[in-house]
Amino acid sequence: MFGNQRYWQDEKDWNYEIGAKTQWLDHRVTFNISVFDSQIKDLQANTTAGSCSSRIVFNVPTARSTGVEAELFARPNANWDFGLSATFIDAKLTSSVIAPSTGLVVGGLADGNRLPTAPKVQASGSLGYTMPVSGATDLFANLTVQYVGSSFSQFENEEPGFGEIGGPSPNSARLIPFGGVPAGTQITFNPELAAYTLANFRLGVKTDRWQVAAYVNNLTDKTAQLALDYERGRSARVGYLTNQPRTIGVYGSYSF
């Protein structure tokens, strides 16, 4: 690491985007699309300070984020509505940070490594149904599905051997035996956050003034890995931050 790392430079970003917003079939179908490219100079990147839990900011000379976003919404009649959206992003470093004292890459800040919390693919879809039941009262139902591709929480998670504790790799964390764990034990885990799909469903009745609905969030009770969490260079603790499990409830609102 850089022992005298005290300051960092301003981050500069040039963004280029071109797109279109369109409506079709008497405004019943909406389609939007955009293509973008972001050129980043002196990216302010965080990495762990050795075997402790402190974070240090480094400037990566150059990075780039390029992608496509698209949205499609349709309401073919008074009862049904549909929605689809998707994003593809290629966000990565295009240069490296090298420690002068060792000649090694600092904390995963290597040319080609992906930017943290930037899945390459994300998509969502929705299906809605509304039906009049009495006067101004409508029955409604809505299903939403979200897909999030794999990602990394930090640059350093992409280092070879980062998912090893007590192993032979130079990037393996030192194992501190405690709680009956014998010396020499080796532990492995996957530092890449797995892709996941979540679904929510809602059913209820509504008027212009009030609504009551029953809902199920996380319909399939999927455990999604949202972030990798660790302390003291993984020697003290390693775990995943996860989403809320399947949740069933009732919701109501009234507008005065």
AA identity, residue 229? D
Grade residue 175 by pLDDT with cuts at 50, 70 and 90.
confident
User: What is the per-residue pLDDT for 63?
Assistant: 98
User: What is the per-residue pLDDT for 4?
Assistant: 56
Contact (Cβ atoms closer than 8 angstroms) between residue 249 and residue 203: no
Per-chain mean pLDDT for the chain: 91
Q: Considering the domain boundaries, does residue 167 fall inside one?
A: yes
Q: Considering the domain boundaries, does residue 203 fall inside one?
A: yes
Q: Considering the domain boundaries, does residue 3 fall inside one?
A: no
Whether the per-residue pLDDT at 37 is higher than 80: the answer is yes
Residue with tokens 């999030």: 148
Burial of 209 (0-12, 13-18, 19+ CB in 10 A): exposed
* pLDDT: which is higher, 202 or 172: 202
Q: Considering the domain boundaries, does residue 171 fall inside one?
A: yes
Average pLDDT score over residue span 123-148: 96
Boundaries of domain holding 225:
12-254
Whether the per-residue pLDDT at 2 is higher than 60: the answer is no
Looking up residue 71, the CATH number of its domain turns out to be 2.40.170.20
Contact (Cβ atoms closer than 8 angstroms) between residue 169 and residue 159: no
Whether the per-residue pLDDT at 83 is higher than 70: the answer is yes
Contact (Cβ atoms closer than 8 angstroms) between residue 81 and residue 74: yes
The total of structural domains in the chain comes to 1
C-alpha–C-alpha distance, residues 232 and 215, integer Å: 41
Whether the per-residue pLDDT at 129 is higher than 90: the answer is yes
Whether the per-residue pLDDT at 89 is higher than 60: the answer is yes
Q: Considering the domain boundaries, does residue 186 fall inside one?
A: yes
Each residue's pLDDT tens digit, 191-215: 999 999 999 999 999 999 999 999 9
Q: Considering the domain boundaries, does residue 166 fall inside one?
A: yes
Average pLDDT score over residue span 91-120: 94
Average pLDDT score over residue span 170-175: 78
User: What is the per-residue pLDDT for 200?
Assistant: 98
C-alpha–C-alpha distance, residues 162 and 124, integer Å: 31
Beta partners for 218? none
pTM score, two decimals?
0.90
Q: What phi, psi does 233 have (nearest 5°)?
A: 60, 30
Q: Considering the domain boundaries, does residue 5 fall inside one?
A: no
